[in-house]
Amino acid sequence: MGKFNKGKKRAMAAISTASLPDIVFMLLFFFMMTTVMQTEDEMVKVVRPEVSEVYKIEKKHLIRYINIGQPQDARYGTEPVIQLNDQFAEASAIRDWVDVERLTLAESEQTKMWVSLKVDKDTKMGVVTDVKQELRKASALKVLYSANSRERTGS
């Protein structure tokens, strides 16, 4: 009865590792897709105007943002509000805000700070003017009116 060979144990087949790279890649992609770079939440609705003469700031770490527009959340009304970091603020708070933000930069770069104004295009200039006046008082004079680029018209 030699049909059932009990003595020789069959070695367990090794699990194929050929698909391991695929699995690793899948994981990699999963992380790549789901990772969001940390940016500040916009609490106001901003539709940027379109302009032809754009200037691009390469050194992003020098930019601090002020958002102005209608609140996203209708409970805060429809009047344009100013957003500093992640809260609404009055124009009068800008001077202190600038001082604080300036200190987050290296000393050698404190004079190079940019303030980017992300303003909704339907906002009335009154609010923007107030903000600009406060920025001048705070000596934050380098300003970028954030906008999308378009072609030059006419000429």
Partner 1 sequence: MADIAFLLLVFWLVTTTIESDEGVKRQLPPPVPEDLEQQEVKEGDVYNVRTNFRDELLVEKKVLRIDELKAGAKDFLVATGDGILNPVRDNVVLNDGNMMYPERVWVRKGELQILELSYLGAGQTKRAAKVREKIRAIELFGGDYRELPGSALISLQTDRNTSYDLYLQVQNELEAAINELRDELAEAKFNMSYAEMVERYERSKEPSLLDRIMAVRLVYPQRISEAEPRDAGATYY
Which residues partner with 87 through β-bridges? 84
- The amino acid present at 146, given as its one-letter code, is S
Contacts of 53 (CB under 8 A, 6+ apart): 152
The 10 Å Cβ neighbour count of residue 85 is 15
Range in contact with partner 1 (rule: CB under 8 A) among 2-10, 70-78, 95-103, 121-129:
121-129
Query: Does residue 146 bind partner 1 (CB under 8 A)?
Result: yes
Place of tokens 């009304």: 77
Q: Which residues ranging from 41 to 60 are in contact with partner 1 (CB under 8 A)?
A: 48-49, 51-58, 60
For residue 70, the minimal CB distance to partner 1 (Å) is: 12
Query: Does residue 142 bind partner 1 (CB under 8 A)?
Result: yes
Rg (CA), the chain: 28
Rounded to an integer, what distance in angstroms lies between the CA atom of residue 141 and that of residue 79? 26
The residue among 23 and 100 lying less far from partner 1, judged by its C-beta, is 23
Residues that bind partner 1 (CB under 8 A): 19, 21-22, 25-26, 28-29, 32, 48-49, 51-58, 60, 63, 116, 119-126, 128-129, 132-133, 135-137, 139-149, 152-155
